[in-house]
Structure 1
Amino acid sequence: MRRRRWRTLLLGVVLPLVLTAGAVGGLYWLREWDRHPAADSGRPGSWVTVGSEEVAAFARVRVPGSAGELRWAYRKGLQDDVAFLSFRLPPGGEQGFLNGLGIPLTPDAGTDLGSGVLEGFRQAGAPDPRAAGALRHGSVVADALPGHNKRLAESAWLAEEADGGTRVWVHAMDAP
Protein backbone atom coordinates (compact mmCIF):
# COMPACT_ATOMS: atom_id res chain seq x y z
CA MET A 1 0.00 0.00 0.00
CA ARG A 2 2.81 2.36 0.88
CA ARG A 3 4.56 1.67 -2.38
CA ARG A 4 1.42 2.49 -4.30
CA ARG A 5 1.19 5.93 -2.63
CA TRP A 6 4.73 6.78 -3.64
CA ARG A 7 4.11 5.68 -7.19
CA THR A 8 0.91 7.74 -7.30
CA LEU A 9 2.74 10.75 -5.86
CA LEU A 10 5.55 10.33 -8.34
CA LEU A 11 3.32 9.91 -11.38
CA GLY A 12 0.67 12.39 -10.31
CA VAL A 13 2.77 15.31 -9.03
CA VAL A 14 6.51 15.04 -9.55
CA LEU A 15 6.55 13.79 -13.14
CA PRO A 16 4.22 16.55 -14.44
CA LEU A 17 6.33 19.18 -12.65
CA VAL A 18 9.53 17.87 -14.21
CA LEU A 19 7.94 17.71 -17.67
CA THR A 20 6.55 21.25 -17.31
CA ALA A 21 9.92 22.62 -16.20
CA GLY A 22 11.60 20.92 -19.15
CA ALA A 23 9.04 22.30 -21.59
CA VAL A 24 9.37 25.85 -20.21
CA GLY A 25 13.17 25.63 -20.37
CA GLY A 26 13.02 24.34 -23.93
CA LEU A 27 10.69 27.11 -25.05
CA TYR A 28 12.94 29.73 -23.45
CA TRP A 29 15.95 28.28 -25.25
CA LEU A 30 14.08 28.27 -28.59
CA ARG A 31 13.00 31.88 -28.09
CA GLU A 32 16.55 33.00 -27.34
CA TRP A 33 17.87 31.02 -30.31
CA ASP A 34 15.32 32.74 -32.54
CA ARG A 35 16.03 36.23 -31.15
CA HIS A 36 19.83 35.89 -31.34
CA PRO A 37 20.74 33.81 -34.39
CA ALA A 38 24.32 32.64 -34.75
CA ALA A 39 26.62 34.67 -36.97
CA ASP A 40 26.68 33.52 -40.58
CA SER A 41 23.67 31.27 -40.00
CA GLY A 42 21.85 33.02 -42.85
CA ARG A 43 18.84 33.42 -40.59
CA PRO A 44 17.10 36.79 -40.35
CA GLY A 45 18.82 38.94 -37.75
CA SER A 46 22.20 37.24 -38.09
CA TRP A 47 25.43 39.12 -38.66
CA VAL A 48 26.96 37.97 -41.93
CA THR A 49 30.65 37.86 -42.79
CA VAL A 50 31.16 39.79 -46.02
CA GLY A 51 33.98 41.92 -47.38
CA SER A 52 34.19 45.68 -47.04
CA GLU A 53 33.71 46.07 -50.80
CA GLU A 54 30.36 44.27 -50.65
CA VAL A 55 29.20 46.40 -47.72
CA ALA A 56 30.28 49.59 -49.49
CA ALA A 57 28.51 48.52 -52.69
CA PHE A 58 25.32 47.75 -50.75
CA ALA A 59 25.51 51.17 -49.07
CA ARG A 60 26.35 52.85 -52.40
CA VAL A 61 29.33 54.54 -50.78
CA ARG A 62 32.73 54.91 -52.39
CA VAL A 63 35.33 54.58 -49.66
CA PRO A 64 38.34 56.68 -50.73
CA GLY A 65 41.63 54.85 -51.09
CA SER A 66 43.14 57.28 -48.59
CA ALA A 67 40.65 56.23 -45.89
CA GLY A 68 42.01 54.42 -42.88
CA GLU A 69 40.64 52.47 -39.93
CA LEU A 70 37.91 50.91 -42.08
CA ARG A 71 35.32 48.95 -40.09
CA TRP A 72 32.16 47.31 -41.41
CA ALA A 73 29.31 44.98 -40.48
CA TYR A 74 26.36 43.51 -42.35
CA ARG A 75 23.14 42.15 -40.87
CA LYS A 76 20.70 40.00 -42.78
CA GLY A 77 17.08 40.85 -42.05
CA LEU A 78 13.78 39.13 -42.64
CA GLN A 79 12.85 41.79 -45.19
CA ASP A 80 15.58 44.42 -44.99
CA ASP A 81 19.35 44.01 -44.82
CA VAL A 82 21.46 46.57 -42.97
CA ALA A 83 25.06 47.70 -43.55
CA PHE A 84 27.36 49.69 -41.28
CA LEU A 85 30.59 51.37 -42.36
CA SER A 86 33.04 53.53 -40.49
CA PHE A 87 36.37 54.94 -41.57
CA ARG A 88 38.70 57.86 -41.08
CA LEU A 89 39.56 60.38 -43.79
CA PRO A 90 42.92 62.15 -43.62
CA PRO A 91 43.07 65.96 -43.46
CA GLY A 92 41.85 67.38 -46.76
CA GLY A 93 39.98 64.22 -47.79
CA GLU A 94 36.51 65.18 -46.63
CA GLN A 95 35.32 67.35 -49.52
CA GLY A 96 36.10 64.76 -52.19
CA PHE A 97 34.19 62.15 -50.21
CA LEU A 98 31.21 64.45 -49.68
CA ASN A 99 31.03 65.28 -53.39
CA GLY A 100 30.63 61.57 -54.18
CA LEU A 101 28.28 60.88 -51.26
CA GLY A 102 25.41 63.07 -52.43
CA ILE A 103 23.87 63.55 -48.99
CA PRO A 104 23.46 67.08 -47.66
CA LEU A 105 24.68 67.36 -44.06
CA THR A 106 23.28 69.46 -41.24
CA PRO A 107 25.53 70.62 -38.40
CA ASP A 108 24.96 69.81 -34.74
CA ALA A 109 23.01 66.64 -35.44
CA GLY A 110 23.03 65.55 -31.81
CA THR A 111 23.95 62.10 -30.62
CA ASP A 112 20.62 60.25 -30.63
CA LEU A 113 21.44 57.64 -33.27
CA GLY A 114 19.15 54.89 -31.99
CA SER A 115 20.10 51.65 -30.29
CA GLY A 116 20.03 49.55 -33.49
CA VAL A 117 22.46 51.87 -35.26
CA LEU A 118 24.78 52.00 -32.26
CA GLU A 119 24.68 48.19 -32.01
CA GLY A 120 25.70 47.96 -35.66
CA PHE A 121 28.66 50.27 -35.22
CA ARG A 122 29.70 48.31 -32.10
CA GLN A 123 29.44 45.08 -34.11
CA ALA A 124 31.68 46.64 -36.75
CA GLY A 125 34.26 47.61 -34.13
CA ALA A 126 33.86 51.29 -34.97
CA PRO A 127 34.34 54.08 -32.45
CA ASP A 128 31.16 55.29 -30.75
CA PRO A 129 29.86 58.33 -32.69
CA ARG A 130 28.45 59.82 -29.49
CA ALA A 131 31.99 60.28 -28.18
CA ALA A 132 33.17 62.13 -31.28
CA GLY A 133 32.00 65.61 -30.38
CA ALA A 134 29.95 67.71 -32.78
CA LEU A 135 28.35 65.51 -35.43
CA ARG A 136 27.08 66.51 -38.84
CA HIS A 137 24.32 64.29 -40.17
CA GLY A 138 22.49 63.65 -43.39
CA SER A 139 19.96 61.10 -44.63
CA VAL A 140 18.56 60.18 -47.98
CA VAL A 141 16.25 57.58 -49.48
CA ALA A 142 17.61 56.62 -52.90
CA ASP A 143 15.63 55.04 -55.72
CA ALA A 144 15.94 51.35 -56.42
CA LEU A 145 18.75 50.33 -58.72
CA PRO A 146 17.80 48.75 -62.06
CA GLY A 147 16.89 45.11 -61.47
CA HIS A 148 16.17 45.66 -57.77
CA ASN A 149 12.79 46.18 -56.14
CA LYS A 150 13.96 48.09 -53.06
CA ARG A 151 15.14 51.60 -52.41
CA LEU A 152 18.02 52.41 -50.07
CA ALA A 153 17.66 54.44 -46.88
CA GLU A 154 21.04 55.84 -45.96
CA SER A 155 22.35 57.99 -43.12
CA ALA A 156 25.82 59.42 -42.62
CA TRP A 157 27.44 61.10 -39.65
CA LEU A 158 30.73 62.97 -39.82
CA ALA A 159 32.90 64.41 -37.06
CA GLU A 160 36.04 66.47 -37.39
CA GLU A 161 39.03 65.12 -35.51
CA ALA A 162 41.76 67.09 -33.74
CA ASP A 163 44.31 66.70 -36.56
CA GLY A 164 41.89 68.00 -39.22
CA GLY A 165 40.87 64.53 -40.39
CA THR A 166 37.27 63.35 -40.45
CA ARG A 167 35.63 60.29 -38.94
CA VAL A 168 32.72 58.91 -41.01
CA TRP A 169 29.91 56.55 -39.99
CA VAL A 170 27.42 55.24 -42.58
CA HIS A 171 24.24 53.25 -41.92
CA ALA A 172 22.35 51.87 -44.93
CA MET A 173 19.21 49.77 -45.13
CA ASP A 174 17.24 48.55 -48.10
CA ALA A 175 13.71 49.83 -47.86
CA PRO A 176 10.56 48.67 -49.66
Structure 2
Amino acid sequence: MTRKQRWVLLLAIVAPLALVGAAVGGLYWLREWDRHPAPDSGRPGSWMTVTSEFVMEFSRVRPPASAGEVHWAYQKGFQDDSAYLSFRLPPGEEERFLADLKMTVKPSFENRVDSSALTGFQRAGAPDPKAAGPLREGSFLAEPLPGHNKRLAATVWLAAEADGGTRVWVDAGDSP
Protein backbone atom coordinates (compact mmCIF):
# COMPACT_ATOMS: atom_id res chain seq x y z
CA MET A 1 0.00 0.00 0.00
CA THR A 2 1.41 3.35 -1.00
CA ARG A 3 1.74 6.32 1.28
CA LYS A 4 -1.07 8.13 -0.55
CA GLN A 5 -3.40 5.15 -0.12
CA ARG A 6 -2.65 5.01 3.62
CA TRP A 7 -3.57 8.69 3.97
CA VAL A 8 -6.82 8.16 2.04
CA LEU A 9 -7.66 5.14 4.22
CA LEU A 10 -6.83 7.08 7.40
CA LEU A 11 -8.96 10.01 6.23
CA ALA A 12 -11.81 7.65 5.33
CA ILE A 13 -11.76 6.29 8.90
CA VAL A 14 -11.07 9.51 10.86
CA ALA A 15 -13.45 11.85 9.01
CA PRO A 16 -16.66 9.88 9.80
CA LEU A 17 -15.53 9.41 13.41
CA ALA A 18 -14.92 13.16 13.74
CA LEU A 19 -18.35 13.90 12.26
CA VAL A 20 -20.04 11.45 14.64
CA GLY A 21 -18.13 12.94 17.58
CA ALA A 22 -19.12 16.47 16.59
CA ALA A 23 -22.77 15.42 16.21
CA VAL A 24 -22.83 13.70 19.62
CA GLY A 25 -21.15 16.69 21.25
CA GLY A 26 -23.57 19.09 19.57
CA LEU A 27 -26.59 17.07 20.70
CA TYR A 28 -25.24 16.96 24.26
CA TRP A 29 -24.73 20.74 24.23
CA LEU A 30 -28.27 21.31 22.91
CA ARG A 31 -29.73 19.02 25.57
CA GLU A 32 -27.87 20.83 28.36
CA TRP A 33 -28.87 24.21 26.92
CA ASP A 34 -32.50 23.08 26.92
CA ARG A 35 -32.36 21.64 30.46
CA HIS A 36 -30.55 24.62 31.98
CA PRO A 37 -31.64 27.81 30.25
CA ALA A 38 -29.72 30.98 30.86
CA PRO A 39 -31.04 33.32 33.56
CA ASP A 40 -33.47 35.95 32.25
CA SER A 41 -33.79 34.17 28.91
CA GLY A 42 -37.55 33.90 29.38
CA ARG A 43 -37.33 30.27 28.35
CA PRO A 44 -39.16 27.65 30.42
CA GLY A 45 -37.08 26.79 33.45
CA SER A 46 -35.14 30.05 33.48
CA TRP A 47 -34.76 32.08 36.65
CA MET A 48 -35.92 35.63 36.04
CA THR A 49 -34.68 38.83 37.66
CA VAL A 50 -37.77 40.47 39.12
CA THR A 51 -38.49 42.87 41.96
CA SER A 52 -39.76 41.86 45.38
CA GLU A 53 -42.97 43.76 44.54
CA PHE A 54 -43.51 41.52 41.51
CA VAL A 55 -43.09 38.38 43.63
CA MET A 56 -45.39 39.72 46.34
CA GLU A 57 -48.10 40.53 43.81
CA PHE A 58 -47.69 37.17 42.08
CA SER A 59 -47.75 35.17 45.33
CA ARG A 60 -50.50 37.29 46.96
CA VAL A 61 -48.34 37.37 50.10
CA ARG A 62 -47.22 40.74 51.36
CA PRO A 63 -44.89 40.73 54.36
CA PRO A 64 -45.68 43.42 56.92
CA ALA A 65 -43.48 46.52 56.85
CA SER A 66 -41.77 45.27 60.02
CA ALA A 67 -40.58 42.07 58.30
CA GLY A 68 -36.88 41.69 57.68
CA GLU A 69 -34.44 39.49 55.78
CA VAL A 70 -36.69 39.36 52.70
CA HIS A 71 -35.51 36.98 49.95
CA TRP A 72 -37.26 36.18 46.66
CA ALA A 73 -36.86 34.30 43.38
CA TYR A 74 -39.04 33.74 40.33
CA GLN A 75 -38.88 30.93 37.78
CA LYS A 76 -40.53 30.96 34.37
CA GLY A 77 -42.18 27.62 33.68
CA PHE A 78 -43.38 25.86 30.55
CA GLN A 79 -47.01 26.30 31.62
CA ASP A 80 -46.82 27.40 35.24
CA ASP A 81 -44.58 30.03 36.82
CA SER A 82 -43.29 29.81 40.41
CA ALA A 83 -42.38 32.42 42.98
CA TYR A 84 -40.42 31.85 46.17
CA LEU A 85 -40.48 34.30 49.05
CA SER A 86 -38.92 34.16 52.50
CA PHE A 87 -38.82 36.69 55.30
CA ARG A 88 -38.58 37.05 59.06
CA LEU A 89 -41.42 38.35 61.20
CA PRO A 90 -40.50 40.06 64.47
CA PRO A 91 -41.99 38.70 67.71
CA GLY A 92 -45.75 39.25 68.00
CA GLU A 93 -46.41 39.65 64.23
CA GLU A 94 -47.25 36.06 63.26
CA GLU A 95 -50.90 36.01 64.34
CA ARG A 96 -51.79 39.19 62.45
CA PHE A 97 -49.86 37.99 59.37
CA LEU A 98 -51.81 34.72 59.29
CA ALA A 99 -55.11 36.54 59.86
CA ASP A 100 -54.37 38.77 56.84
CA LEU A 101 -53.77 35.64 54.71
CA LYS A 102 -56.99 34.07 56.04
CA MET A 103 -55.11 30.82 56.46
CA THR A 104 -54.59 28.36 59.29
CA VAL A 105 -51.41 26.36 59.73
CA LYS A 106 -50.82 22.89 61.07
CA PRO A 107 -47.66 20.95 61.95
CA SER A 108 -45.69 19.82 58.91
CA PHE A 109 -44.93 16.15 59.25
CA GLU A 110 -41.23 15.39 58.87
CA ASN A 111 -40.59 19.03 57.87
CA ARG A 112 -41.75 18.07 54.38
CA VAL A 113 -40.75 20.65 51.76
CA ASP A 114 -40.56 19.46 48.16
CA SER A 115 -37.32 19.64 46.19
CA SER A 116 -38.50 22.33 43.76
CA ALA A 117 -39.37 24.63 46.68
CA LEU A 118 -36.00 23.93 48.30
CA THR A 119 -34.27 24.82 45.03
CA GLY A 120 -36.31 28.04 44.82
CA PHE A 121 -35.47 29.06 48.38
CA GLN A 122 -31.81 28.26 47.78
CA ARG A 123 -31.88 30.33 44.58
CA ALA A 124 -33.43 33.20 46.55
CA GLY A 125 -30.66 33.04 49.15
CA ALA A 126 -33.14 32.20 51.91
CA PRO A 127 -32.33 29.97 54.86
CA ASP A 128 -33.09 26.29 54.35
CA PRO A 129 -36.52 25.49 55.85
CA LYS A 130 -35.47 21.91 56.59
CA ALA A 131 -32.69 23.25 58.83
CA ALA A 132 -35.19 25.28 60.89
CA GLY A 133 -36.98 23.91 63.89
CA PRO A 134 -40.32 22.18 63.56
CA LEU A 135 -42.25 23.61 60.62
CA ARG A 136 -45.90 24.49 60.48
CA GLU A 137 -47.60 24.54 57.11
CA GLY A 138 -50.67 26.04 55.46
CA SER A 139 -51.87 26.66 51.93
CA PHE A 140 -54.37 28.70 50.02
CA LEU A 141 -55.84 29.12 46.53
CA ALA A 142 -56.38 32.55 44.99
CA GLU A 143 -58.48 33.58 42.03
CA PRO A 144 -56.75 34.92 38.89
CA LEU A 145 -55.50 38.47 38.87
CA PRO A 146 -57.35 40.83 36.51
CA GLY A 147 -56.21 40.14 32.95
CA HIS A 148 -54.86 36.67 33.79
CA ASN A 149 -56.49 33.29 33.36
CA LYS A 150 -54.58 31.29 35.95
CA ARG A 151 -55.34 30.63 39.61
CA LEU A 152 -52.63 30.67 42.22
CA ALA A 153 -51.82 27.91 44.71
CA ALA A 154 -49.46 28.78 47.54
CA THR A 155 -47.91 26.84 50.39
CA VAL A 156 -46.60 28.70 53.41
CA TRP A 157 -44.22 27.23 55.99
CA LEU A 158 -43.45 28.88 59.32
CA ALA A 159 -40.82 28.15 61.96
CA ALA A 160 -40.48 29.77 65.37
CA GLU A 161 -37.14 31.41 66.07
CA ALA A 162 -35.35 31.59 69.41
CA ASP A 163 -36.19 35.28 70.01
CA GLY A 164 -39.94 34.72 69.50
CA GLY A 165 -39.89 35.82 65.87
CA THR A 166 -41.05 33.68 62.96
CA ARG A 167 -39.33 32.71 59.73
CA VAL A 168 -41.74 32.40 56.78
CA TRP A 169 -41.24 30.61 53.44
CA VAL A 170 -43.76 30.88 50.59
CA ASP A 171 -43.90 28.69 47.47
CA ALA A 172 -46.50 30.04 45.01
CA GLY A 173 -47.34 28.74 41.56
CA ASP A 174 -49.98 29.65 39.03
CA SER A 175 -51.94 27.02 37.18
CA PRO A 176 -54.82 26.94 34.71
Shorter-chain TM-score bucket reads over 0.9
Aligned residue in 2 for 1:54 = 54
* Match runs of 1:110-125 below 5 Å: 110-125=110-125
Unaligned stretches of 5+ residues in structure 2:
none
User: What RMSD in Å do the two structures reach over aligned CA positions?
Assistant: 1.2
1:173 aligned onto 2:176: no
Deviation, 1:32, is 0.5
Aligned-partner residue type, residue 149 of structure 1:
N
Q: Where does residue 147 of structure 1 map in the other structure? A: 147
Matched residues in 2 for 1:153 and 1:10: separation? 62
Match of 1:101? 101
1:50-107 CA distance string (max 9 Å, x none): 1101101000011110000000000011111100000000000111111111222112
Three-state SS of the structure 1 residue aligned to 2:92 is coil
Q: What is the aligned length? A: 176
Q: Report 1:12-31 matches (<5 A).
A: 12-31=12-31
Q: CA deviation at 1:8?
A: 3.1
> Aligned residues: percent identity?
64
Q: What does residue range 30-45 of structure 1 map to in structure 2 within 5 Å?
A: 30-45=30-45
Partner residue in 1 for 2:88? 88
Residues 10-63 of structure 1: CA deviation (Å, up to 9, x unaligned)? 232111111111110111011101110111111111100011011010000111
Secondary structure of the corresponding residue to residue 111 of structure 2: coil
Cα deviation, residue 149, structure 1:
0.8
Deviates more, 1:140-149 or 1:152-161: 140-149
Deviations 1:103-129 (A, max 9, x none): 221124432211111000000000000
Letter in 2 for 1:81: D
Is residue 43 of structure 2 the alignment partner of residue 7 of structure 1? no
Aligned amino acid, residue 135 of structure 1: L
Q: 2:149 is paired with a residue of what secondary structure?
A: coil
| One-letter amino acid of the counterpart of residue 134, structure 2 | A
